[in-house]
Structure 1
Amino acid sequence: MPTVVQLPAGKAMTVRTAADAFLDSLGNPNTVRNYGIGVGKTAERLGEGRPLAAVADDDVGGALELLWGEASVNTWNARRAAVLSWLGWCAERGYDGPQVPAWAKRMPPPESETPARSKMAIDRLIARREVHLREKTLWRMLYETCARSEEILEVNIEELDLAGRRAPVKAKGAQPRTRRRGAVREDFVLETVYWDAGTARLLPRLIKGRTRGPVFTTHRRPGPGKVLSARDVCPDTGLARLSYGQARALLDEHTALAGPGTGWDLHEYRHSGLTHLGENGASLPMLMAKSRHKKPENVRRYFKPSPEALSDLTSLLAPGDARR
């Protein structure tokens, strides 16, 4: 006999109700256990008491990135698939709600890792006339700090040390933990990221006339129904903080060659920056300090030297007279 799931009357339900109903509909205990991780943690991140219909696609993508953006490819794909099934199940039953956005795409197999873009390609992209100052500054800052995208997007103007070319960020720490049903505690530590001349030239132009609020904001004010914390709105302009989903979509818009979702990923700036530092002689301890990884094996997977760098390295083995 198929499992009968009692759904609430009407076409509106909360995030938690939708998650519980979906998981209750699954017959296989193993599927329930595996899907429960992805669906349960995503529901917590989105806000269990929120109406499902009030959740935006980018909210779902942002939750996936925050929870598993740094996880292995297989873990990311599994959690994404669980959430995709959950939201598809709700849509099939006529419940208004979000979808997994196109930019939160399934990752390729592990053997095809995040690429490291050449410094020339990064410089050319940032120099393009049609790229807005906001994107230029964000991409340069991501490259020079080698920080995670969420960390940089969370920075506020009052936290910037422009003279010292540094800022504190909420670094990736423990995952949110549930103290009791519906109550979530955020765990994080403050760490410092550093940038160089490129970011130092662009930042003052971007924040000119503003002294508080998010460094990176949208170009339009949020709609009347959107609830934001005071920290996420510029008090001078009323503009909201740029979200991870919006930033990722903007990068994709400027780099996609084979349709939406095929462009660069924000995380590639971190990979590229660490790779270029390594190619220029930075030691493993210094790369770990820059990336703030605690284990050498974690930072090693970010270092992807180019064929040209390997060729230059190999030339060091040539006879003395051949190197003259």
Structure 2
Amino acid sequence: MTRILPLTGGPTLADATTAFLNRRDLDADTLRSYRQTLTRLRAELGDGVLLSDLAAEQVAAVFTTAWSEAAARTWNRHRSALRSFTTWAAARWSTTDLAVLIERRRENADATKVIDRHLIEALWQRQDLPLRDKTLFRLLYESAARSVEALGLDVADVVPEAKRGRVRRKGGATEWILWQSGTARLLPRLLTGRTSGPVFLTDRRPGPARTPAAVDLCPLTGRARLSYERAEYLFKQTTKNVDPTGAGYTLHQLRHSRLTHLGEDGWSSSMLMALSGHRNLRSLGIYVQPSTEAVAAALADHDPGRRRH
């Protein structure tokens, strides 16, 4: 249970947000997202301001300054983080609804976020990719796992002969992620000589001032667990030349693309949920819509003009 400091007039913004972020029920991705939002609020409003003195107008002004030009999805993500914090705080102290003046923005679905199959296949054929990067990218695609789940794998979690690894899913459940022969051929080469520590490691040893926890260090090489931010950067750099926007694809798009491709191939929703770790059909639904390429191929197959030839 989070300990609330008995401060006169209630907690400061710094104390309240720190207690909120120290909760054990937040997974790594959610914690990272919440921290970005609340860190910006603290920077703009001041750590020492009492939570009870904050007004919704002040917070709305911060949102306008910080994220008015951001994409709707980014705006809504920060709004969701604020609403979660406000709801949590209201259960402990008498506070104003700090999110009441911040309206949710409409998000337009982007049907171009699925990576074409031929681009995925071309990625596996590239000879210039480091073994670690190719293994990670292929594992993420074949398993449809969340990036944080794959990056959290330790050598002891991997069962090579069964093509699976033990991960902590979103929400805290411990489950298996599964992969195919492509990943199975790469993993033994990546893990040569290693019997413990993280599967995916940084290129260099961390400096003395940045030594991570022992659980995130490889005892054989002294290198640290590869971070999500670094892995995301590497994938964007790898794919920026084939991404129409020039920005490079995200790791999440590997998961999205895998589920879309399997849905096009006839996989049932229950099978997709079992593979990906989704808990309900509603959250899975955005991944199983056929891509433009699949619809175009189906139309071509049923084109009367084509049959006449």
Deviation readout 1:118-164 (Å, 9 max, x if unpaired): 22101212322221111100000000000000000000001101111
Secondary structure of the structure 2 residue equivalent to 1:135 = helix
Deviation, 1:262, is 1.0
Distance in 1 between residues matched to 2:283 and 2:156, nearest whole Å: 32
Alpha-carbon contact 1:116-1:304 (below 8 Å) kept: no
Secondary structure of the structure 2 residue equivalent to 1:211 = coil
Deviation, 1:21, is 6.3
Deviation, 1:109, is 4.9
Match of 1:10 in 2: none
Deviation readout 1:215-250 (Å, 9 max, x if unpaired): 000110000111311110000110000000110111
How do 1:43-192 residues align onto structure 2 when only pairs under 5 Å count?
73-76=74-77, 78=79, 109-112=107-110, 115-173=113-171, 188-192=172-176
Cα-Cα RMSD = 3.8
Tell me the matched-pair count. 237
Match of 2:248 in 1: 263
Unaligned runs of 5+ in 2: 1-34, 64-71, 83-105
Residue 226 of structure 2 is aligned to residue 242 of structure 1: yes
Distance 1:17 1:200, change over 3 A: closer
Secondary structure of the structure 1 residue equivalent to 2:231 = helix
Q: What amino acid sits opposite 2:45 in the alignment? A: L
Secondary structure of the structure 1 residue equivalent to 2:256 = helix
Distance in 2 between residues matched to 1:28 and 1:157, nearest whole Å: 48
Match of 2:5 in 1: none
Unaligned runs of 5+ in 1: 1-14, 38-70, 82-107, 174-187
Deviation readout 1:178-216 (Å, 9 max, x if unpaired): xxxxxxxxxx12111100011001101111111111100
Structure 1 residue aligned with 2:272, among 263, 270, 287? 287
Structure 1 residue aligned with 2:45, among 23, 40, 50? 23
Distance in 1 between residues matched to 2:189 and 2:228, nearest whole Å: 22
Structure 1 residue aligned with 2:198, among 189, 208, 214? 214
Alpha-carbon contact 2:73-2:107 (below 8 Å) kept: no
Greater Cα offset, 309-318 or 211-220: 309-318
Structure 2 length as normaliser, TM-score?
0.66
Deviation, 1:79, is 7.0
Q: What amino acid sits opposite 1:123 in the alignment? A: E
Alpha-carbon contact 1:35-1:79 (below 8 Å) kept: no
Greater Cα offset, 24-33 or 139-148: 24-33
Distance in 2 between residues matched to 1:18 and 1:316, nearest whole Å: 53
Q: What amino acid sits opposite 2:185 in the alignment? A: R
Deviation, 1:260, is 11
Secondary structure of the structure 1 residue equivalent to 2:128 = coil
Distance 1:252 1:35, change over 3 A: farther
